[in-house]
């Protein structure tokens, strides 16, 4: 086994990021019950599979332990795994303007103290897109099952653990066979189309994760994907550190009803107006309300 440290920004909280939303429960992630260790399987440039163990370290930093490397970890592999770690824990996201704004709101000051708001991500934008698509119109248990079965399409290591499949690996399946395996219903066609367009080079979704891109611009591109409506597109923006859209789902509406309208059914417009003063971070503030529920 080999390992190294990845420096995290000041105020980074490993556990808060890990439990920031349900992603830690989706394959190929695995986690410890104290939320202080996250595992995943990924591949090096030569295609070999490695198991990665992430844990918090002083600094703040993240300790990355790598299992499955034959011989010494090459410098290029270490660079790639460092980039992967930074992406998964969203380490390049600058939270200082967000926290500066929230300091003026007594209700949300806890976010900075706990290092909340930095959302856990998958290894690639492609994988985040797939997982987000699998959260739509289903139960959380259904999401976990569908993602687990999609992950089974990826390569397998000696211990039987799978890395998440590439777009080409998904696109290589016929729709009927894919549906029979992953049982994602109507989402299967959307998944196959997304995988096919990326594999063909028609879409370069990895470049959508760019702080320099306007939120509205990325939002429009997301909405053009089959199966991505306002909810799914807003979730993706949040993962990219763009917080100016509300991801309104049944959970958000129910939380709002309990916390702000004494159980009365709010309209989406009411909810939007309530969070508007927090722009451009209203999506995150809604998320904070969901977390404390």
Judge contact between 1 and 39, C-beta under 8 A: no
Residues 161-200 that bind DNA (CB under 7 A): 179, 183-186
41-45 long-range Cβ contacts below 8 angstroms, 24+ apart: 41/157, 41/161, 41/162, 41/163, 42/81, 42/84, 42/123, 42/163, 43/155, 43/163, 44/69, 44/77, 44/80, 44/81, 45/76, 45/77, 45/80
Counting contacts by CB under 7 A, is residue 269 touching DNA?
yes
The 245-264 contact track toward DNA, x by CB under 7 A, reads ----xxx-------------
Interacting residue with DNA among 85, 135, 151, 282 (CB under 7 A): 135
Min dist CB 37 to DNA, Å, is 19
Interacting residue with DNA among 3, 97, 211, 229 (CB under 7 A): 229
Q: Under the phi-then-psi rule, with left for phi > 0, alpha for psi from -120 to 50, and beta for the rest, what region is 59?
A: left
Counting contacts by CB under 7 A, is residue 140 touching DNA?
yes
Q: Which stretch binds DNA (CB under 7 A): 43-51, 109-117, 133-141, 195-203?
A: 133-141
Interacting residue with DNA among 228, 243, 256, 275 (CB under 7 A): 228
Rounded Cα distance between 113 and 249, Å, is 27
Burial class for 15, CB neighbours closer than 10 Å (0-12, 13-18, 19+) = middle
Counting contacts by CB under 7 A, is residue 231 touching DNA?
yes
Counting contacts by CB under 7 A, is residue 137 touching DNA?
yes
Q: What is the binding site for DNA (CB under 7 A)? A: 21-22, 135-143, 145, 179, 183-186, 223, 226-233, 235, 249-251, 267-269, 272
């Amino acid at each position: 086994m080999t390992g190294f440290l990845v420096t995290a920004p000041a105020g980074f909280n490993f556990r808060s990021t890990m439990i920031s939303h349900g992603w830690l429960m989706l394959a190929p992630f695995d986690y410890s019950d104290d939320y202080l260790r996250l595992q995943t399987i990924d591949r090096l440039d030569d295609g070999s599979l490695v198991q990665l163990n992430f844990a918090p370290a002083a600094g703040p930093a993240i300790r990355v332990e790598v299992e499955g490397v034959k011989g010494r970890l090459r410098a290029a592999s270490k660079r790639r795994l460092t980039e992967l770690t930074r992406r998964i824990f969203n380490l390049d996201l600058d939270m200082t303007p967000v926290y500066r704004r929230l300091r003026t709101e007594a209700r949300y000051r806890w976010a900075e103290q706990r290092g909340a708001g930095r959302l856990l991500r998958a290894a690639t934008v492609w994988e985040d897109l797939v997982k987000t698509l699998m959260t739509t119109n289903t139960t959380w248990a259904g999401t976990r099952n569908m993602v687990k079965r999609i992950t089974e399409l990826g390569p397998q290591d000696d211990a039987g653990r799978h890395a998440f499949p590439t777009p080409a690996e998904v696109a290589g399946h016929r729709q009927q066979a894919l549906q029979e395996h992953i049982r994602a219903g109507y989402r299967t066609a959307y998944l196959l189309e997304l995988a096919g367009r990326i594999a063909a080079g028609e879409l370069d979704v990895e470049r959508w994760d760019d702080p320099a891109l306007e939120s509205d611009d990325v939002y429009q591109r997301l909405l053009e994907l089959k199966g991505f409506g306002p909810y799914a597109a807003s979730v993706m923006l949040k993962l990219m550190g763009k917080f100016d859209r509300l991801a309104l789902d049944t959970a958000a509406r129910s939380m709002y009803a309990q916390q702000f309208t004494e159980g009365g059914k709010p309209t989406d417009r009411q909810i939007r107006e309530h969070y508007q003063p927090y722009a451009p971070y209203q999506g995150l503030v809604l998320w904070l309300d969901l977390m404390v529920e």
